Amino acid sequence: MAHAAPPFRFIYNSSSTVTTVVANGWNLIDVGSQWSADRLPGRTKGLVWVGDYDNGSCSWEMSDSELRAQVAAAAHDAKVFGYFFSDEPNPYACRNAPAQHRARSSLIHSLDPATRTVIVLDSNGFKGRATRDALDQLPLWKGSADYVGLDPYPCYQHTACDFSWIDRNIRAADAAGLSYWGVVQAFDDASWRWPNPAELSHMLAQWGASRETGYMTFAWSWAGNSLASRPDLLGILRRFNGGAAGCVVPRVVGSSLARAGAAIRRANCSVGRVTRRPSSRRSGIVVGQSPRAGTQLATRARVRLVVSKGRRRSTGPG
């Protein structure tokens, strides 16, 4: 049974390739500032990372005063979806962590009541792989943020994926009354491996059948690898996200014609009419484009290019 993607679709480590990520259907981008969010194309919004919670010192990396200044400056900004303020806090190492997170979420809302707060919990086990403590922590986090991400990654190196672990996390989150986002595994490192297309589809179906109100993908890039290198997986995620968000025109001025064409095709657009004119830029460099970067169009819409012919040669008297 096919399941539709939830309305909020976030991908980690995505700010460097915004047009490609948006063209593949994600609508929340991992950004570090209001400035970056304001420059996102179309209806895409930024989930602003405001520093982590330190499980060693049981304190925040960003002070309350710094956080106040950042949130107050961005209050009511339509391009800022909200604030991602903690990734995998440990309530066993820091007993007051849930209360600290509730206080921080409340602080953010006191400055901008309409914004959202997001954290992600370690859903893979604190004492070992898939240990019960990852599930037992969930009731502690109720009310700690508007949305709580759960990241039970089931596919370890050299083993079959344990999909039952995702189901156990979903049941525990439902029992705890959390408003949660599932985090889908799409990466490779020393501990975890790339899922194959069938395995990724299985994960998406599990989360899609749950009560999640959004979902997250880990990650566009991680440990030297990029999801762009796995078109088989990217295609599945794109279809789950709703097809594609159409053509999101990339910025190609300053690129060679070959690189511009590749970037345009990656963004689900196509190369339209190419004209050439004299320019101070060297021959073969794109010096103009239409429509402008960030414009959202139908899939395969044409992007017209102007390419430099080099400097016009002056002719002396005959």
**What pLDDT sits at residue 262?**
87
Could you tell me if residue 81 is inside a domain? yes
Same domain, 151 and 258: no
Q: What is the pLDDT of residue 318?
A: 47
- Number of H helices and E strands in the chain, helices first, is 9, 17
The verdict on 53 and 74 lying in the same domain is yes
- Judge if the upstream peptide bond of residue 7 is cis by omega within 30 degrees of 0: no
Residue 261 inside a domain? The answer is: yes
Shared domain for 22 and 73, answered yes or no, is yes
* Residue at 173 is within a domain: yes
Q: Does 156 share its domain with 294?
A: no
Looking at residue 95, its pLDDT comes to 98
Say how many domains are in the chain. 2
CB atoms closer than 10 angstroms to residue 190: 7
Question: Same domain for 273 and 207?
Answer: no
Mean per-residue pLDDT for 251-265? 91
8 Å CB contact between 206 and 198: no
Average pLDDT over residues 158-168: 98
The predicted structure's pLDDT at residue 243: 56
Supply the DSSP symbol for 29: E
CATH number at residue 299: 3.30.10.20
For residue 201, is it within any domain?
yes
Per DSSP, 146 falls in state S
Same domain for 66 and 90, yes or no, is: yes
User: Is there a cis peptide before residue 219, judged by omega within 30 degrees of 0?
Assistant: yes
Task: Sheet with 302-308: list strands edge to edge.
Answer: 270-277, 302-308, 286-290
Please indicate, yes or no, whether residues 178 and 279 belong to a single structural domain of this protein: no
Q: Which residue has the tokens 């049941």?
A: 171
124: CB partners within 8 A, 6+ apart = 130, 134, 151, 152, 153
CA distance 83 to 99: 18
- Secondary structure E strands in the chain: 8-11, 28-31, 45-49, 53-54, 59-60, 80-87, 116-121, 147-150, 180-185, 214-218, 221-222, 225-226, 247-248, 270-277, 286-290, 296-297, 302-308
Which of 125-134, 141-150, 293-302 shows the lowest mean pLDDT across its residues?
Answer: 293-302
User: Is 97 found in the same domain as 50?
Assistant: yes
- Among the residue ranges 1-5, 185-189, 194-198, 303-307, the one predicted with the least confidence is 1-5
Domain boundary among 240, 267, 296: 240
User: Is residue 228 assigned to a domain?
Assistant: yes
C-alpha triplet 242, 233, 89: angle, nearest 5° = 85
Q: Is residue 314 part of a domain?
A: no
- Domain check: are 58 and 150 in the same one? yes
Asked, for residue 313, whether it belongs to a domain, the answer is no
Which residue, 182, 175, 164, is CA-closest to 140?
A: 175
The percent of residues above 70 in pLDDT, for the chain, comes to: 96
Q: In this predicted structure, what is the pLDDT of residue 292?
A: 87
Identity of the residue numbered 153:
Y
Whether residue 315 has pLDDT greater than 60? no
Mean pLDDT of the region 292-307: 85
Of 64, 124, 57, 54, give the one whose Cα is nearest residue 87.
Answer: 54
| Domain region containing 126 | 8-240
Q: Please check whether residues 196 and 225 belong to one and the same domain.
A: yes
Picking from 196, 217, 240, the residue at the C-terminal end of a domain is: 240
The DSSP call for residue 185 is E
For residue 307, is pLDDT > 90?
A: yes
Position 300 scores a pLDDT of 80
- Residue 175's domain is classified under what CATH number? 3.20.20.80
Give the model confidence (pLDDT) of 170-207 as tens digits: 999 999 999 999 999 999 999 999 999 999 999 999 99
* pLDDT greater than 60 at residue 317: no
Altogether, the residues listed in the chain come to a count of 318
Last residue of a domain, one of 206, 240, 274: 240
> Has residue 315 been placed in a domain?
no
**Same-domain status, 32 and 97:** yes
